[in-house]
Amino acid sequence: MPEIDRAMSEAVRAAYLEGQEEERLEPLVRVGGDGRPVGRFGRGDAVIFYDLRGEREVELTAALVEPAFPHFETEPLRLQLATLIEYDRDLPVQVAFPPIEELRETLGEVVSQAGLRQLRVAESEKAIHVGYFLAGKRQEPFAGEQRITPQSPAEPLAEPEMRASEVVAAVEAALADPAVAFIVANLANIDVIGHIEDRNAVLRAVEAVDAAVGRLAEAAHREGVVVLVTADHGTVERWLYPEGTIDTGHTDSPVPCILSAPGAWPGATLRGGGSLVDVAPTILDLLGLEAPATMTGRTLVAGPGPRGARRVLLVVCDGWGYAPTGPANLISQARTPAMDRLAAAHPHTLLAASGEAVGLPSGTVGNSEAGHLHLGAGRVVPADRVRIAAAIADGSFFANPVLRGTAEAARASGRPLHLLGIVSFFSSHGSLDHLFALLELARRVGVPEVWVHGLLGRRGERPQSGAHYVGLIEEQAAALGVGQVASVIGRYWALDREHHWDRVRRAYDLLVRGVGRAVRG
């Protein structure tokens, strides 16, 4: 076994001892014997950004490749940059696994084609999920669609209530307008705060969402509007691992679904055995619209119900999963009178929101991207992760023209190949399996200089897992005889999606200018 260079994983462990954690890990950069940074992005270098999802990767990618990037000073790098999936169709990059097809006849499109007005309200932290993913990865609003986006607080931990009250106020105003037939309200608190190790803040977030749901239901009932309350995935209902360690990630729990209609609807029930793909057909059923044949989901309304109600409010309690009552279930530990009252008085059921039910590999946890995508799609949409895993398994990954072409361009030009992405096996943003496959590709192509740039973020990971994963990269690089870890930084800086350009610049300066704490190899 070749000698393993563990300089970077040891540097991450040293940062832990100083009180740093993965999400906001300060930048670490490898330096040579002369003390100068090595492995920086240089003019004409080849780069593969191997993250998935994309909504948090757009800003950093744009800074790296757009020649007239306006938000801070950048270098004219002219990188040969490829991404594993499409982050934004307008980015001047190559895409290894482009979208198979445009997702059509989603919930929003069907409502629009019926000539009905619709509104989507979500604070900025979740705006892309309610706007982009819920619409089948469509950027532009449909005809008759309006979007309202209150700005999320810069430090949500200081304000666990976040902007729930502003979301409620915007929805209340729309409920008073009878011309608005369909409204989507996302309450972001639980998912956002649940990724932070602060039990009291999580309880406040849960209670803020519960209070908001109560206000929304009351306002909707006053206006004769039917309410469907559900979630995109679970989070804090299983906040502890079995041994008591905090789990800040998503879960594979089902999510609640409650149908609350004004007045009496004798015999109305919601069937069991459903999943998030059944929400869109249900809403169309409630609106009196026919679901298209492309929606393989089925309405959840069983027996008589408020069909043809003409106006529906969908409330997405982001991150509200279902699990048995207990100390690890922070939802059960919070005061939730509104949700309890609605569940006791109205038809309710549980919906599958993880794994194959939402296009993910079997046994994997849910996430906001897959959750909102399937809430709007009404059918199972295979995740990019599934496509890429299949390509690695059958070997086509190593012949992918974009990936192989990028590696061969690095070899031919004598320039380095940089591999940039999340350092995790469980993140919805990507997997070390993809990085390891790219290192193997570089070995096969014979790229002489390969640098790995890791992004850390403990969501659903054990404490201090980042150092362990960086160590696995060091071991794999040694075993293959290709690659070194050039830099590591917390995802807080690199994967922004709300135009916090000061954060993105920290990541850019690390990758391009080598600004960070020196780590000698």
The confidence band for 461, taking pLDDT boundaries of 50, 70 and 90, is: low
Checking if the pLDDT of 308 tops 80, the result is no
> Domain of 436: which CATH number?
3.40.1450
Checking if the pLDDT of 458 tops 70, the result is no
With contact defined as beta carbons under 8 Å apart, do 196 and 326 qualify?
A: no
Answer whether residue 111 is part of any domain. no
Q: Which residues span the domain enclosing 185?
A: 123-269+305-350+357-363
Answer whether residue 30 is part of any domain. yes
Q: Quote the pLDDT of residue 519.
A: 96
Q: Work out how many domains the chain is built from and give that number.
A: 2
The reply to whether 167 and 80 lie within a common domain is no
Q: What is the DSSP string of 141-155?
A: PPTTEEEE-PPPPSS
Which comes out higher in pLDDT, residue 235 or 246?
A: 235
With contact defined as beta carbons under 8 Å apart, do 344 and 240 qualify?
A: no
Q: Quote the pLDDT of residue 248.
A: 87
Distance of alpha carbon 94 from the chain centroid: 22
Checking if the pLDDT of 269 tops 80, the result is yes
Find the angle CA(461)-CA(122)-CA(234) to the nearest 5 degrees: 30
Q: What mean pLDDT do residues 438-446 have? A: 98
The reply to whether 265 and 402 lie within a common domain is no
- Residue 278: CB atoms within 10 A of its CB come to 29
The reply to whether 458 and 321 lie within a common domain is no
Checking if the pLDDT of 41 tops 70, the result is yes
In our burial notation (b when 16+ CB lie closer than 10 A, e otherwise), range 472-489 reads bbbbbbbebebbbbbbbb
Kind of pairing between the strands at 46-49 and 80-85: parallel
Q: What is the pLDDT of residues 346-375, one digit of tens each?
A: 999 999 999 999 999 888 899 999 999 999
Q: What is the pLDDT of residues 149-208, one digit of tens each?
A: 999 998 999 999 999 999 999 999 999 999 999 999 999 999 999 988 899 999 999 999
Answer whether residue 312 is part of any domain. yes
Checking if the pLDDT of 460 tops 70, the result is no
The pLDDT mean for the chain works out to 94
* Tokens (6 digits) for 452: 């790995």
Q: Please state, in angstroms and rounded to a whole number, the distance separating the CA atoms of residues 322 and 282.
A: 21
Q: What is the pLDDT of residues 381-402, one digit of tens each?
A: 988 888 999 999 999 999 999 9
Q: Please state, in angstroms and rounded to a whole number, the distance separating the CA atoms of residues 157 and 139.
A: 29
Answer whether residue 438 is part of any domain. yes
Checking if the pLDDT of 128 tops 80, the result is yes
Domain boundary among 328, 363, 398: 363
Answer whether residue 468 is part of any domain. yes
Checking if the pLDDT of 426 tops 80, the result is no
